[in-house]
């Protein structure tokens, strides 16, 4: 077994750069222990000062953009335009958490005054969310910046006051090295660490210093780590973002040929390697040919690594060879080592319903299945039986609005984000975003991995009962020295 994690160029299949040494168990222990030692000083740093550090980190990543993007393009084949946007998204979300810290409501400061006359009598109670401790972050393959070393999990955990130890993804080790170099140059000693190799990830999630973990990746890999996290002598929260088929319902009034281009663009974006890829579409049979023509006119590209390429080819070939679906169209692909082409299949609703488990398997890549129906009312029961998913989408004309409401209610039970007349690819980094959903979309549907409230994963409530004002955290002191939003005796305000 190799002692290094070797990066490759997906366009050529050739090794790229020097291999990165795998992290030994003893080194994992050293890094995790350093994070534990850094927890006290980092979590005690005033939120506004942590915000300043995050701003400096974003600036440093922007300053290193040329090297980071060039390295990532060679190692992932995602393209300079896409990676340029992704890196900017990454630094913007780091800055967003600076805004979250300065605004202050994320700690959910809640104060109850004493009331001896009720039953039971109420003492002075003051509740606030406090950081858990060092966090393990597992990088994603398909987003070498936004969901990796300096991605949303890292940014939100750092903002909360938790040091972070990243497990780098094997698909882009050199990108991880360069990004980690920038991050480590800004943050205090021990607040950030990184490990390499599959075994280091297992050791990390089981290390007693680690108090929570975030993961974006496959269902199998995420489930294995989730089980390790729950099997510890002291189980820890494990927030995994896993598989998602992202069902899209095109209602009759919206079933016009001009919807096809948007579908094909979303299906093939990033060679289909998006967690929000619209892989399952419910549509009238009348637009299948238009959808097929749009996919046939689309191009594929090199996938992130050889294993993903082989898996996509094998799973879509098996689907095409089955008697369950009909091949509608196949797009083109470049002459590159790990390149794949887009593929579109179709199946009647009745066949889909009878083979739901098999036909809802995720084909990670630019493949989609169109399930044809005659009456939107027939979809409700099927939609409720779909596995948990990050998104559910409805395309509707004004004449479809009554049906759209019924479909949305069915999707609400299985999806974390409901989209109207748009496509699910593209996840805005904002206060109102929710990027989560029931299993297997995530391991915990209460939380999001994107947006301001993703910080909520790394903090837990502590209530101070009858403590003197001068001994309380500033968020709970009578004078509200931080001037943050607080709820006092049930009333929310800046008081």
Catalytic machinery residues: 241, 275
Strands 14-21 and 486-488: unpaired
Helix (H) or strand (E) holding 86: helix 80-103
Rounded to whole angstroms, how far apart are CA atoms 340 and 366?
A: 8
Rounded to whole angstroms, how far apart are CA atoms 241 and 213?
A: 11
Pick left, alpha or beta for residue 378 (phi over 0 → left; psi -120 to 50 → alpha; otherwise beta): alpha
Count Cβ atoms below 10 Å from residue 397 Cβ, excluding itself: 14
Tokens of 303: 């996938």
Reply yes or no: is the peptide bond before residue 440 cis, omega within 30 of 0: yes
HSE-up of residue 130 (Cα within 13 Å, Cβ side): 17
Find all residues with CB under 8 Å of 222, minimum gap 6, and list them.
215, 240, 241, 242, 443
Closest CA to 5 of 143, 199, 192, 144: 199
Rounded to whole angstroms, how far apart are CA atoms 366 and 361?
A: 14
Find all residues with CB under 8 Å of 288, minimum gap 6, and list them.
328, 346, 370, 372
Strands 164-167 and 135-138: parallel
Contact 126/476 with Cβ under 8 angstroms?
Answer: yes
Sheet arrangement for strand 192-195 = 192-195, 164-167, 135-138, 212-216, 238-241
Tokens of 432: 């109102």
Rounded to whole angstroms, how far apart are CA atoms 410 and 397?
A: 19
Contact 446/452 with Cβ under 8 angstroms?
Answer: no
Contact 194/87 with Cβ under 8 angstroms?
Answer: no
CA distances from 372 to 22, 172, 276, 486 (A): 49, 39, 21, 51
Contact 349/324 with Cβ under 8 angstroms?
Answer: no
Rounded to whole angstroms, how far apart are CA atoms 57 and 158?
A: 11
Pick left, alpha or beta for residue 450 (phi over 0 → left; psi -120 to 50 → alpha; otherwise beta): beta
Which residues face 367 on adjacent strands? 343
Closest CA to 367 of 412, 312, 407: 312
């Amino acid at each position: 077994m190799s002692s290094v994690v070797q990066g490759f160029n997906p366009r050529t299949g050739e090794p790229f750069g020097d291999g990165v040494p795998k992290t030994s168990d003893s080194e994992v222990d050293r890094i995790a222990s350093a994070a534990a030692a850094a927890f006290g000083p980092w979590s005690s740093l005033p939120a506004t000062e942590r915000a300043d550090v995050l701003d400096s980190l974003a600036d440093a990543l922007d300053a290193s953009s040329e090297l980071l993007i060039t390295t990532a393009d060679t190692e992932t084949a995602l393209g300079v335009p896409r990676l340029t946007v992704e890196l900017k998204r990454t630094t913007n979300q780091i800055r967003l958490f600076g805004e979250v810290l300065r605004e202050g409501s994320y700690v959910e400061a809640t104060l109850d005054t004493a009331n001896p006359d009720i039953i039971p009598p109420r003492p002075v109670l003051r509740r606030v969310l406090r950081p858990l401790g060092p966090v393990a972050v597992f990088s994603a393959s398909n987003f070498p910046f936004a969901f990796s070393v300096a991605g949303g999990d890292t940014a939100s955990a750092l903002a909360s006051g938790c040091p972070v130890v990243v497990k780098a993804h094997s698909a882009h080790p050199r990108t991880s090295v360069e990004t980690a170099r920038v991050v480590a140059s800004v943050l205090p000693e021990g607040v950030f660490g990184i490990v390499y190799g599959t075994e280091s990830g297992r050791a990390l999630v089981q290390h007693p210093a680690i108090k929570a973990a975030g993961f974006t990746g496959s269902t199998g890999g995420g489930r294995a780590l989730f089980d390790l996290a729950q099997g510890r002598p002291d189980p820890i929260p494990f927030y995994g973002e896993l598989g998602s088929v992202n069902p899209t319902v095109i209602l009759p009034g919206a079933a016009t040929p001009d919807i096809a281009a948007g579908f094909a663009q979303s299906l093939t974006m990033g060679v289909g390697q998006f967690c929000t890829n619209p892989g399952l579409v419910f549509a009238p049979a009348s637009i299948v040919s238009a959808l097929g023509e749009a996919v046939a006119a689309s191009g594929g590209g090199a996938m992130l690594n050889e294993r993903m390429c082989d898996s996509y080819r094998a799973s879509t070939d098996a689907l095409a060879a089955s008697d369950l679906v009909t091949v509608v169209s196949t797009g083109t692909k470049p002459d590159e080592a790990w390149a794949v082409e887009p593929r579109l299949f179709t199946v009647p609703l009745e066949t889909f319903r009878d083979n739901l488990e098999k036909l809802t398997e995720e084909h990670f890549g630019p493949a989609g299945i169109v399930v044809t129906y005659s009456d939107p009312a027939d979809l409700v029961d099927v939609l409720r039986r779909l596995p948990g998913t990050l998104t559910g989408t409805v395309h509707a004309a004004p004449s479809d609005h009554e049906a759209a409401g019924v479909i949305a209610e069915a999707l609400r039970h299985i999806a974390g984000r409901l989209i109207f007349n748009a496509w699910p690819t593209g996840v805005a980094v904002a206060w109102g975003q929710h990027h989560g959903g029931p299993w297997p979309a995530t391991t915990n549907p209460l939380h999001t991995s994107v947006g301001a409230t993703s910080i909520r994963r790394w903090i837990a409530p502590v209530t101070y009962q009858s403590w003197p004002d001068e001994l309380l955290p500033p968020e709970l002191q009578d004078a509200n020295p931080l001037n943050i939003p607080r709820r006092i005796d049930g009333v929310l305000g800046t008081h």
